[in-house]
């Protein structure tokens, strides 16, 4: 199903890091990051209840609530409900709020999740809603059962809300390609904008090019790309796709760095331009807790990159020959 959303600069602020992902982010640092994004002209913000058990939504709401709601686009996610009950945390958001989180893709759960998000965000509406982590990387073999729950619950609710004009678009927000592919081929549901994290990036895109990208383009809707640096791996970080980086991935990143050095190119520039070059992509959301990073990202999208850089990546089979490159988008 086609949507006519236009996202300014094709760039948005992703707020997973602001939910204290991997570390305890001081409140002042989080506020400055959001404010800096606004000051630089960013007008699309993505968040989720899962990010620090509501912490990212609360922080985002503190800043955005002082601006005219018609001036920006806001997306959050459904599938997890933040409870009042608390527990000790571990994993991605061990430094987030201690509230327990309950997985729920039903109709009632979806409506409750949206209502709770609106309160935390201090707003009266969401523009886009993504069904979150309905995917084997989070749910294992149970993902098929949960997908069926969503198909009969969340998908129907979000289709109705979109058709009624309550939201502008909906889709899935996942770190694998299969759930988006399956959802796009359903007859009874019509997702028109999904958030694909880690899967259509400079470092990892072969699988996405097989089915997800063509299906998204054919549907007339589109994709928002998250984690374009694969959790920072491409930029020399210690994580790849939200896990500790492996020696094999590090070696692959080294090969990208060699080509970049040959042509005087920054990998951040190349990564953002690669992910936004495909016609199915509406925007990339980048997450950070550093106020100056969003300015870097905007500059990266405008940087001059020689055609020889892309040619060498394809020649060395680091980038698929089927990929749509920035030079000929």
Which residues have a catalytic role annotated?
Answer: 51
In angstroms and rounded to an integer, the radius of gyration of the C-alpha atoms of the chain is 19
Question: DSSP class of residue 159?
Answer: H
Rounded to 10 deg, the angle between the 107-121 and 154-163 helix axes is 60
| Residue of 134, 74, 78 whose CA lies nearest to 108 | 78
| Residue of 228, 194, 240 whose CA lies nearest to 296 | 228
Tokens read off for 154: 């969340």
């Amino acid at each position: 199903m086609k949507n006519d959303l236009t996202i300014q600069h094709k760039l948005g602020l992703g707020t997973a890091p602001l939910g204290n992902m991997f570390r305890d982010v001081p409140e002042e640092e989080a506020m400055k990051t959001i404010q800096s994004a606004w000051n630089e002209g960013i007008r699309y913000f993505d968040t989720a209840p899962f990010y620090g058990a509501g912490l990212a939504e609360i922080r985002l709401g503190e800043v955005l609530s002082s601006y005219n709601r018609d001036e920006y686009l806001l997306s959050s996610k459904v599938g997890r409900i933040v409870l009042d009950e608390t527990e000790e945390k571990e994993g991605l958001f061990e430094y987030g709020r201690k509230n327990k989180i309950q997985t729920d893709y039903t109709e009632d759960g979806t409506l409750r999740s949206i209502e709770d998000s609106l309160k935390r965000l201090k707003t009266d509406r969401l523009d886009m809603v993504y069904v979150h982590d309905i995917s084997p990387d989070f749910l294992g073999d149970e993902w098929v059962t949960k997908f069926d729950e969503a198909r009969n619950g969340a998908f129907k609710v979000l289709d109705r809300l979109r058709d009624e004009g309550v939201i502008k678009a909906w889709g899935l927000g996942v770190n694998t390609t299969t759930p988006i592919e399956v959802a796009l081929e359903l007859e009874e549901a019509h997702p028109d904008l999904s958030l694909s994290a880690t899967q259509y990036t400079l470092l990892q895109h072969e699988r996405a090019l097989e089915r997800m990208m063509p299906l998204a383009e054919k549907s007339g809707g589109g994709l928002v790309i998250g984690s374009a640096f694969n959790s920072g791996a491409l930029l020399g970080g210690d994580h790849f796709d939200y896990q500790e980086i492996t020696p094999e991935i590090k070696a692959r990143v080294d090969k990208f760095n060699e080509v970049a050095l040959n042509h005087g190119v920054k990998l951040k520039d190349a990564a953002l331009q690669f992910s936004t070059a495909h016609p199915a992509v509406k925007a990339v959301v980048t997450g950070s807790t550093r106020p100056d990073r969003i300015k870097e990202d905007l500059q990266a999208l405008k940087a001059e990159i020689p055609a020889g850089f892309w040619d060498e990546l394809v020649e060395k089979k680091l980038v698929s020959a089927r990929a749509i490159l920035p030079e000929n988008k």
